[in-house]
Amino acid sequence: MLTLLELLKDGRFHSGEALGAALGVSRSAVWKQLQHLEAELNLPVHKVRGKGYQLASPLVFLSAAEIEQHAPDLAWPIHIYDSIDSTNAEALRLAGVECATPFLVLAEQQTAGRGRRGRKWVSPFAQNVYYSLVLRIEDGLRQLEGLSLVVGLAVMQALRESGVQTATLKWPNDVLVGQKKIAGILLELVGDPADICHVVLGIGINVNMQKADEVDQQWTSVQLETGFPVDRNALIARLGLQLQGYLGRHRVLGFAELQNEWEKNHAWQGRAVSLIAGVNQVDGVVLGVDRQGALRLSVDGVEKIYSGGELSLRLRDDS
């Protein structure tokens, strides 16, 4: 199937006969493969009598060589999959067997992409970035403090460099344009966080996605914001360089050094919000984050601190 895609990826017309000859199969076998392509990968194919078959838009596949060309100094080993359950799940599996860190797991498609609390991350084929970077953590909890917020800063900067100037952050782990989600971050740990462990920095960025009925909240993508298709390999390289810079600062100086910068880019700074933890809700005004990356809320005029992976922030109507 991917060989057929290799032939079609230029976005030009190819006759059934030419495709059959190149693949060494009959025209009806080509037809069957095309139907699979549409059904399994959700890729629309135009069929025009007398001209043949054409992908609705050209595709550029992920390529380690191209990523390295854009960021020669990074030199992280890269594993690329056509399809995987979840790049985070694969990264956690590989962390048990692969010794050299950091390493990167990427995929064209995730069949079980995951968000926080078991939610689904919609991950169509060859449109977005599904990125999991594995780091080894040696001095335990200090290196984890504020880490997901630091990753957010790197993702936001990579998006701005890609033309989305209005990308901002929402505590704890979302990147937004206005009220629309353009990227999400999911950190997962394996090992003993108080000793040596591995952390997977899972990042999903909507890049060229233009339609996704399954996403049940407001969302956008780089292409929807800029009006142009985006080279995912170049974006991945920019993201890697941003992560390298921010993670380096965080490792040496801790989150406290990035606290101000994070607050300046927080979309909901000073806004009236509700903080939701399961069935419990607290209403307050966002003051910012503390030196560990926890949320500071003014609740009835008193500053309160909140942290933990189960918390969700929502804007209040009177905000």
Does position 220 interact with ligand BTN (CB under 6 A)? The reply is no
DSSP class per residue in 170-201: ETTTEEEETTEEEEEEEEEEEE-TTSSEEEEE
CA–CA dist 186, 177 (Å, integer): 19
* Beta carbons within 10 angstroms of residue 93's beta carbon: 13
Residue 87 interacting partner from ligand BTN, ligand ATP, none (CB closer than 5 to 8 Å by kind): ligand BTN
The Cα 37–Cα 208 span in angstroms is: 18
- Whether residue 206 contacts residue 235, with contact meaning beta carbons closer than 8 Å, is answered with no
- Determine whether the annotation assigns residue 88 to a binding site: yes
Binding mask 100-139 for ligand ATP (x = CB under 6 A): ---------------xxx-xxxx-----------------
CA distance 197 to 254: 18
Residue 52 vs 113, nearer CB to ligand BTN: 113
Would residue 181 show up in a list of annotated catalytic residues for this protein?
yes
314 catalytic, yes or no?
yes
Quote the CA–CA distance of 132 and 104 in Å, as a whole number: 6
The answer to whether residue 90 forms part of the interface with ligand ATP (CB under 6 A) is: no
**Using the 8-state DSSP alphabet, how is residue 96 labeled?**
T
The least distance separating ligand BTN from the CB of residue 57, rounded to whole angstroms, comes to 22
Question: Of the listed 116, 160, 251, 296, which one is catalytic?
Answer: 116
Number of residues interacting with ligand ATP: please give it, by CB under 6 A. Answer: 19
140 labelled ligand-binding: no
Given 142, 291, 314, 316, which residue is catalytic?
314
Place of tokens 């078959």: 53
54 binds ligand BTN (CB under 6 A): no
CA distance 119 to 249: 31
Chosen residue from 16, 20, 77, 115 binding ligand BTN by CB under 6 A: 115
Binding-site ranges for ligand ATP (CB under 6 A): 115-117, 119-122, 173-174, 181, 184, 204, 206, 215-217, 219, 312-313
Binding-site ranges for ligand BTN (CB under 6 A): 86-88, 110, 113-116, 119, 121, 130-132, 173-174, 184-186, 202-204
